[in-house]
Structure 1
Amino acid sequence: EQLSFILKWHSGQGTQDTYVTCIYSLQKHYPEIIDKTVMNKLLFGMKKLYGDFKIECLEAMIPNITEFDSAYLELKAAGILDILIHKDFSIRGVALRLLHKLLPKLIHDQLFEIAQILSVEGPNECQYWTLEICKWMYDYITQYITNETKTSATSNISEKFYHCVRELLLEFLSSKNEYIRVNCRNFWCDSKRLSTSSHHRLIALVDQLYSIKSEQEYLNYSTNFLLERTSHNPDYNHFIFENPLDKCIFQEFPLTCNWRQRHHTYMTP
Structure 2
Amino acid sequence: EQLSFILKWHSGQGTQDTYVTCIYSLQKHYPEIIDKTVMNKLLFGMKKLYGDFKIECLEAMIPNITEFDSAYLELKAAGILDILIHKDFSIRGVALRLLHKLLPKLTHDQLFEIAQVLSVDGPNECQYWTLEICKWMYDYITQYITNETKTSTTSNISEKFYHCVRELLLEFLSSKNEYIRVNCRNFWCDSKRLSISSHHRLIALVDQLYSIKSEQEYLNYSTNFLLERTSHNPDYNHFIFENPLDKCIFQEFPLTCNWRQRHHTYMTP
Given the two structures, how large is their TM-score scaled by the length of structure 1? 0.99
1:4-57 deviation per Cα after TM superposition (whole angstroms, max 9, x unaligned): 110000000000000000000000111110000000000000000000000000
1:156-201 deviation per Cα after TM superposition (whole angstroms, max 9, x unaligned): 0000000000000000001111111101000000010001100000
2:37 equivalent to 1:37: yes
Please report how far the alpha carbon of residue 267 of structure 1 lies from its aligned counterpart in structure 2 after TM superposition: 1.9
Please report how far the alpha carbon of residue 260 of structure 1 lies from its aligned counterpart in structure 2 after TM superposition: 1.1
2:188 is matched with which residue? Answer: 188
Please report how far the alpha carbon of residue 268 of structure 1 lies from its aligned counterpart in structure 2 after TM superposition: 5.2
1:116 partner SS: helix
CA distance in 2, matches of 1:177, 1:28: 31
Q: Give unmatched runs, 5+ long, in structure 1.
A: none
1:64-120 deviation per Cα after TM superposition (whole angstroms, max 9, x unaligned): 000100000000000000000001000000000000000000010000000000000
Sequence identity (%): 98
2:63 partner SS: coil
1:29 partner SS: coil
User: Is the 2:46–2:78 contact (alpha carbons within 8 Å) kept by the matching residues of 1?
Assistant: yes
User: Is the 2:173–2:221 contact (alpha carbons within 8 Å) kept by the matching residues of 1?
Assistant: yes
CA distance in 1, matches of 2:135, 2:197: 22
CA distance in 2, matches of 1:16, 1:197: 59
Cα RMSD, aligned residues only: 0.9
User: Is the 2:261–2:268 contact (alpha carbons within 8 Å) kept by the matching residues of 1?
Assistant: no
Please report how far the alpha carbon of residue 152 of structure 1 lies from its aligned counterpart in structure 2 after TM superposition: 1.7
Please report how far the alpha carbon of residue 153 of structure 1 lies from its aligned counterpart in structure 2 after TM superposition: 3.2
1:213-254 deviation per Cα after TM superposition (whole angstroms, max 9, x unaligned): 100110010001011011111111111111111111111111
CA distance in 1, matches of 2:222, 2:67: 42
CA distance in 1, matches of 2:33, 2:116: 34
User: Is the 2:118–2:130 contact (alpha carbons within 8 Å) kept by the matching residues of 1?
Assistant: yes
Q: 1:265 to 1:15 in 2, by over 3 A?
A: farther
User: Is the 2:103–2:111 contact (alpha carbons within 8 Å) kept by the matching residues of 1?
Assistant: yes
Q: Give unmatched runs, 5+ long, in structure 2.
A: none
| Runs of 4+ residues over 4 Å off in structure 1 | none
Please report how far the alpha carbon of residue 264 of structure 1 lies from its aligned counterpart in structure 2 after TM superposition: 2.9
2:266 partner SS: helix
Q: Which range moves more in the overlay, 118-127 or 256-265? A: 256-265
User: Is the 2:124–2:177 contact (alpha carbons within 8 Å) kept by the matching residues of 1?
Assistant: yes
1:43 partner SS: helix
1:266 partner SS: coil
Q: Which range moves more in the overlay, 255-264 or 18-27? A: 255-264
CA distance in 1, matches of 2:268, 2:74: 75
CA distance in 2, matches of 1:63, 1:261: 78
Please report how far the alpha carbon of residue 261 of structure 1 lies from its aligned counterpart in structure 2 after TM superposition: 1.0
Please report how far the alpha carbon of residue 263 of structure 1 lies from its aligned counterpart in structure 2 after TM superposition: 2.7
CA distance in 1, matches of 2:156, 2:132: 25
